[in-house]
Structure 1
Amino acid sequence: MPTNTTEQRRALLDELTQTQRERLSHIDFKLYFLGELRRADVVGRFGTGPAAATRDIAQYREIAPENLVLDNVDKVYRPTESFVPLFDHSPQRVLTALSHGFGEGVGDSLKSMVRCEFPTALNQPKMSVLAPITRAINRGKAVKLVYTSVESGRTEREIVPIALVDIGIRWHVRAFDRRRKGFRDFVFTRMESPVVLEESPIGEEEKVEKDVQWNRIIELELVPHPNHPRPEVVMMDYDMPDGVLHVKVRAANAGYMLRMSTIDCSPDHSLEGLEYALWLKDPLALYGASNARLAPGYRDPRPDAPSVPIKAL
């Protein structure tokens, strides 16, 4: 099939009904961000029959023939190396779809498309960076990229992404770093030119089950700050009629959550200011969390603990 120009693509899309464009947009989304498309994906999303789903995929191929190829081994369509999205995908909508589902299920049955943690995104990663990462998470693949960190500057890395994380001010990816032989957090805005490594096998030590900090769930008891002038307001704000807010968080994300929520984690509730509406009743609950030092006022209980400055988030 000949390749259509951008103008030809738009003209062909303009001839379609809104319903048809929605179905093609879903196909585009599945290919771009999950790296695979099955006829059942269209059937399940829109409730159409198999024949109608086949026609939708054929119509997508007519408009963007260079975007997908059939994987005869897995019997699914894959995006090609020359894939260019047929639609403009809003960053917030994409992240919402990946974290909450893209219309599949109702109510409590909604499920994320890839492993994900989220409050609210305040910055937006580039879609050309996000897409290879989410494809790698979905398919269990490694990624090669260029990464700029505060400590090491600009270096080439190989990582094995396991989950998306939203800490309120940004999205990052939890991944195994083959350079440092351990799990780390990688910020999307610091990534360049990610490429999925199709032929690079994933070792047992690189799988999500081996990430101790990710799999450890910490239970926190938050109470109105003892120095707050109106503790009853705090109880209303956080829906805590008994005066205690019970929170469960992954050890890998605990420090971020407590810092972004401005929770006093000092053992003697010594931080001052109305921004500290809550106090962590038992700071020892953070013991062993890799980023506990990010929590406001946290003090390592070990008597010989080194004083480590907070690194840039």
Structure 2
Amino acid sequence: MSESPNPARSDPLESLNRTQLERLAHIDFRLYFLGELGRADVSDRFGTGPAAATRDIAAYRQFAPNNVVFDIGSKVYRPAENFVPLFEHSPQRVLTALSQGFGQGLGDVLEPMLRCEFPVPLSQPNMQVLAPITRAIHQRKAVRLGYTSVESGRTEREIVPLALVDIGIRWHVRAFDRRHRQFRDFVFTRMDNPVVLSDSQVTREESVESDDQWSRVIELELVPHPAHPRPEVVLMDYPFDEHGVMRLKVRAANAGYMLRRWTVDCSPDHSLRGMEYALWLRDALSLYGSSNAQLAPGYRDPRAGTKIKAI
């Protein structure tokens, strides 16, 4: 697991190359979150022999001599009582590793490191669809494909893919739609037969620099929902500041998706009820101009009658 050196430490780690840092970070991770480390945990992870694993553990002890004790009975290393992590471990990466293990990208079956339960994804991209789209993003190319939308049914499209977006329940791609001459969101599961157009030139009009909704960043101020029966619990659940406000920055193109995912009451008078609404968007006008603001729970568009077109 690649992590950043802990800023509370001095920085002799900067002299190490990336491979060495990866090994020391893995040792740090095992000690910190699993409470034990054997030579096989290092050699199996990196495909090295026992002698190399011993050297890696010795190198770790050189940088953090007070972090490790050797348990003679079980013949494993354990974190010392005064253990201080050598690296900063991202919560998302840690939870992913614990719940899904370390995959090598070569068909490995991911095994969790601890008993863990998480929602099964109901909608995932087909790899034969995903791969041409990601190639096009990387190479700045257009794609011809079939697309089935709620509004138009199946049509042939040429799009210029710009970015992948995960909204929690599905993945889509942000792209310029040459048919409608505008930037839109395209759901992967509705695509078929994508072909990268290697000879098709992408103009500036079709590039991410021209996507105002993608470039515009909105700052959202979330607070405990005024109608929540236990606001002190909400304050414990989320990283609010000392004033009880959580400030988040999101792209205008994704704001509505994110607020729906987080189940935030976006009504101006915090009128939504239910235990699922732990958070309230303090200033609903901050969403004004976001192309998918109406997806946010309870949002009322100041422009009466405005609707978002289904894709």
Using the size of structure 2 for normalisation, the TM-score is 0.60
In structure 1, the partner of 2:166 is: 166
Is the 1:209–1:215 contact (alpha carbons within 8 Å) kept by the matching residues of 2? yes
* CA deviation string 1:141-170 (max 9, x = no partner): 000000000000000000000000000000
In structure 1, the partner of 2:277 is: 276
| Shift of residue 311, structure 1, vs aligned partner | 6.1
Provide closer, same or farther for how the CA distance between residues 89 and 204 of structure 1 changes in structure 2, counting only shifts above 3 A.
farther
* Distance in 2 separating the partners of 1:90 and 1:140: 33
In structure 2, the partner of 1:286 is: 287
In structure 2, the partner of 1:239 is: 239
In structure 2, the partner of 1:151 is: 151
| In the alignment, structure 1 residue 208 sits paired with structure 2 residue 208 | yes
* Distance in 2 separating the partners of 1:211 and 1:307: 21
| Shift of residue 198, structure 1, vs aligned partner | 0.4
| Shift of residue 268, structure 1, vs aligned partner | 0.3
| Shift of residue 195, structure 1, vs aligned partner | 0.4
Provide closer, same or farther for how the CA distance between residues 205 and 151 of structure 1 changes in structure 2, counting only shifts above 3 A.
same
* Distance in 2 separating the partners of 1:281 and 1:159: 37
Which AA in structure 2 matches 1:292? A
Q: Which runs of 5+ in 2 are unaligned?
A: 1-45, 47-104, 111-119
* Distance in 2 separating the partners of 1:312 and 1:199: 31
Is the 1:213–1:252 contact (alpha carbons within 8 Å) kept by the matching residues of 2? yes
Is the 1:132–1:194 contact (alpha carbons within 8 Å) kept by the matching residues of 2? yes
* CA deviation string 1:260-293 (max 9, x = no partner): 1110000000001010000000000000000001
In structure 1, the partner of 2:19 is: none
The structure with the largest helix share of the pair is: 1
* CA deviation string 1:108-130 (max 9, x = no partner): xxxxxxxxxxxx96521110000
Q: How many residues align?
A: 198
CA RMSD, 1 decimal: 2.2
Calculate percent identity across the aligned residue pairs.
Answer: 72
In structure 2, the partner of 1:65 is: none
Q: Which runs of 5+ in 1 are unaligned?
A: 1-45, 47-85, 92-119
* Distance in 1 separating the partners of 2:184 and 2:109: 27
SS of the residue 1:134 aligns to:
helix
Which AA in structure 2 matches 1:124? Q
Which AA in structure 1 matches 2:260? R
Return the index of the structure with the highest Cα Rg: 2
| In the alignment, structure 1 residue 249 sits paired with structure 2 residue 247 | no
Using the size of structure 1 for normalisation, the TM-score is 0.60
In structure 1, the partner of 2:305 is: 306
Which AA in structure 2 matches 1:291? N
| Shift of residue 300, structure 1, vs aligned partner | 1.3
Provide closer, same or farther for how the CA distance between residues 301 and 188 of structure 1 changes in structure 2, counting only shifts above 3 A.
same
* Distance in 2 separating the partners of 1:216 and 1:122: 31
| Shift of residue 176, structure 1, vs aligned partner | 0.1
Is the 2:147–2:157 contact (alpha carbons within 8 Å) kept by the matching residues of 1? yes
Is the 1:121–1:166 contact (alpha carbons within 8 Å) kept by the matching residues of 2? no
SS of the residue 2:200 aligns to:
coil
* Distance in 1 separating the partners of 2:306 and 2:161: 31
* Distance in 1 separating the partners of 2:144 and 2:109: 25
